[in-house]
Structure formats: structure tokens, C-alpha cells
Amino acid sequence: MSTIKEVIDRFPSELQNPMLEFWGVVKETLGVKKEDFTELKNIVFELAEAQRDLAQAQKRTEIRVEELTDAQKRTEIRVEELAEAQKRTEVKVEELAEAQKRTEVKVEELAEAQKNTELSIKDLTRTIEFKIGGLGRKWGIDSE
């Protein structure tokens, strides 16, 4: 690629000075320098790097959001399992309460039966004592 000076040098000599002046005016009017282009190029490069960094951060964020979504789903499943276990536990507790009530009724029945047995034994004891006493009176004390 040729420079401006090399291009102007190819012009006929009488046009070279006017072209150099024209180029000077154009440069001053536009106000664009090589440094400006270099600076613009650097800015564009920095913006591209920042865009890549943002894209990578976005990907990491998306991955993390997916991980959190999966963890949320697992938590919801676990909560449902715990709720079902809680329901089963409540049913078992109700069954145990009913069994406890039946046990209490049976214990009361056994206590009543024990009292009846004790009364029967007392009656039997009195009857035996009475009968033995009757034998003693009839046959003598030694017979008792």
C-alpha cells in the first residue's frame, strides 16, 4: 500500500505542491489522525474483550441457574416425599392411638376379671372353711 506522499510524487511536478496543500487542508478539516485510528482500534479491541468476558459470565450464570433449578426440583421432590412420609406417620400414630385405647379396655377388663377371681377365691375359701368346720363339728376337731 502506498503512502499519500508516494501517490503525490507520481503527479506531475506542477500539481504536487497544490496536492500537498490540498491534503493538508483535508487532514486539518477532517481532524482524523493515525493515532485516532489506533485509539479507536484499541477501544474496539477492549470492547470485544469485555463482550467475551460478559458472554463467559453469562454462560457461567446460565449453568449456575440450571444447577439451582435442578436443586430446586430435587428439593421439591424431597418435600413431597417427606409430606407423604408425614401422612403415613400420622396414619400409624392414629392406628397406635386406637390400639392403645383397645389395650386400655382390655386392661380394664382384666382388672375386673381379677377382682371377680379374687371374690370367687374368697367365696371358695369361705365355703371350704365352712365345710371343714362342719366336718370338725360332726366328726371332731381331729378330722379337720
Average pLDDT over the chain, rounded to an integer: 89
Q: How far apart are CA 103 and CA 7, in angstroms?
A: 115
pLDDT tens-digit map of 5-33:
888 888 888 888 888 888 788 777 777 67
**Which domain, by its residues, includes 27?**
1-31
C-alpha cell at 105: 379396655
Task: Say if residue 8 is in the same domain as residue 60.
Answer: no
Domain count, the chain: 2
Task: Say if residue 59 is in the same domain as residue 12.
Answer: no
Task: Say if residue 75 is in the same domain as residue 121.
Answer: yes
The yes-or-no verdict on residue 95 having pLDDT over 80 is yes
pTM > 0.85: yes or no = no
Whether 12 and 19 have beta carbons less than 8 Å apart is answered as no
Task: Say if residue 43 is in the same domain as residue 86.
Answer: yes
* Beta-carbon count within 10 A of 2 CB: 9
Mean pLDDT of the 109-135 span: 90
Task: Say if residue 13 is in the same domain as residue 3.
Answer: yes
